[in-house]
Homo-oligomer: A and B are copies of this chain.
Amino acid sequence: MLTISQVASAAGVTVRAVRHYHAKGLLVEPERDHSGYRRYDAAAVVDLIKIRILADAGVPLSRVKELLDAGDDDFKKAVAEIDKRLRLEIRERQGHRERIARLVHGDGLALPPEAVAYLERMRELGIPQRIIDGERDAWIIVAAQQPQSMEAFIRSKVGQLDDPSVVETYKQMEALLDWKPGDPRLDTIADQIVSQLEAISPEDWAAYVEGDQAMPPELVALLDAMFVEQVPVAHDLMRLVEKRGYIGWTKLERIQK
């Protein structure tokens, strides 16, 4: 006859756990001796091991209880499902490994490789770090909300970097970060931006509109808000661009005149 600490150590669990299983009805309470101590037979050890195998596999104790007095068929089905969950959890963890790896690598946050490449490209082209940081934060938010469309979004942006005047505008943007609302130099910038938009060929424009189509309006609004928030003159600039026939920022649209 075994005491509670003996069954517990034989099965590799704690005394507290054994009592917990009694309380939950997973393990039948054994006889007590004259002094009220629980007295176990060795079969209890086997029962405990069964319980641990299931519990270790992540089965909630309430479910373990059901399974212990389930038929052979139900049991097999349940085990198949547990196995499915385990496989899923393994895949999830593999995903988490990738995501935390991206936290340290390169741009220090969770972005898919194509986005990292895009930001890298900007750096190569000499675009100021502050601008790139702003872009990065925007992409992080996009990646969190529309991970499956990231590739398409990036594709529609990456081509623009081939135009030297676009790169030039990005470079000028850094100074603009510190301007105060009402700065007269904004007119020139607005002219530049609009002339670049006008220079886009109709096919490219169509592709661009197509690519941004998938971006939900509230995400566009959020990104615009980020811009307005972080750049004091953003609001002024957007109004100037609007006067010249284009509305928005993240997603620019031609206004009907």
Which residues of A approach B to under 8 Å, CB–CB? 1-2, 6, 10-12, 41-43, 45-46, 49-50, 53-54, 56-58, 75-76, 79, 82-83, 86-87, 89-90, 93-94, 96-97, 99-101, 103-104, 109-110, 137, 140-141, 144-145, 219, 222-223, 225-226, 229-230
Contact = CB atoms under 8 A, between A and B. Distances in A.
20 contacts: A1-B225, A11-B144, A42-B223, A42-B226, A43-B226, A45-B141, A46-B109, A46-B141, A49-B110, A49-B140, A49-B141, A53-B99, A54-B103, A57-B100, A75-B103, A79-B100, A79-B104, A83-B100, A83-B101, A89-B93
Given A96-B56, A141-B10, A144-B12, A103 B42 contact: no
Chain B CB within 10 Å, residue with most, of A53, A100, A104: A100
Contact of A229 (B42, B75, B140, B219): B42
Count copies of this chain in the complex.
2
Given A43-B137, A144-B11, A229-B41, A54 B100 contact: yes
Given A50-B109, A53-B100, A144-B11, A222 B42 contact: yes
B86 A96 contact: yes
A230 B1 CA distance: 11
A79 B230 CA distance: 30
Q: Chain A interface secondary structure, helix, strand, loop or mixed?
A: helix
Contact of A46 (B57, B79, B99, B137): B137
A140 to B, nearest CB: 5
Contacts of A45: 140-141, 144, 222
Nearest to A88: B93
A99 B57 contact: yes
The 10 A-B pairs of least Cβ separation, nearest first, read: A42-B226, A57-B96, A86-B93, A49-B144, A46-B137, A41-B229, A57-B100, A86-B97, A90-B93, A79-B104
Given A1-B229, A75-B104, 6 more contacts: A1-B225, A10-B145, A12-B144, A79-B100, A83-B100, A83-B101
Contacts of A50: 103, 109-110
A187 to B, nearest CB: 27
